[in-house]
Amino acid sequence: MSDASDAGETFDCLMCGAGVEGKPDHLGLCGKCRAEVVRRSTWGAAVPALVVVALYFWMLAATGMYESRFLMVWIALGAALAYVAFKVARRVLFEVIHSRGVRVRRNKMKKG
Ligand SMILES: [Zn+2]
């Protein structure tokens, strides 16, 4: 009978180089490093999202939209725009921070 469980399996994290139990994610990071990259990219993505919100509300003010009876719709639209900006920025930042943060260890060279 085959054993489907992965208990006891370890891998070397590509970022911190630690031998970690379990499975790496698709980028070869352990859970701790992945959480750190996600945390940094989330905070970084807040900046472009806020810029989008600021520009949007400035635009609403400049065009007199605050007088509009559809103000709630415009605000909802602005929130949606900020959300999209946040998601896109976080995705981009994740890749940037990940590629900068990875230090490939050279002590073991694999021959393929
Ligand atoms: Zn790690």
pLDDT of residue 53: 94
Total domains present in the chain: 1
pLDDT of residue 105: 46
pLDDT of residue 109: 47
Would you say residue 24 lies in a domain? Answer: no
Ligand 1 centroid vs 95 CA: distance in angstroms? 16
Would you say residue 2 lies in a domain? Answer: no
Ligand 1 centroid vs 11 CA: distance in angstroms? 10
Would you say residue 9 lies in a domain? Answer: no
The overall pTM is greater than 0.75: no
Would you say residue 1 lies in a domain? Answer: no
Encode pLDDT of 60-110 as tens digits.
Answer: 999 988 888 999 999 999 999 999 999 999 999 999 998 887 555 444 445
* Number of other CB atoms surrounding residue 112 within 10 Å: 2
Ion ligand 1 contact residues with beta carbon within 5 A: 13, 15-16, 30, 33
Domain ranges, residue 74? 30-101
Question: Distances from the Cα of 69 to the Cαs of 18, 46, 64, 78, in angstroms?
Answer: 58, 29, 11, 16
Encode pLDDT of 26-62 as tens digits.
Answer: 888 888 889 999 999 999 999 999 999 999 999 999 9
C-alpha neighbours within 13 Å on the C-beta side of residue 18: 9
Would you say residue 108 lies in a domain? Answer: no
Would you say residue 64 lies in a domain? Answer: yes
Would you say residue 59 lies in a domain? Answer: yes
Residue type, 53: V
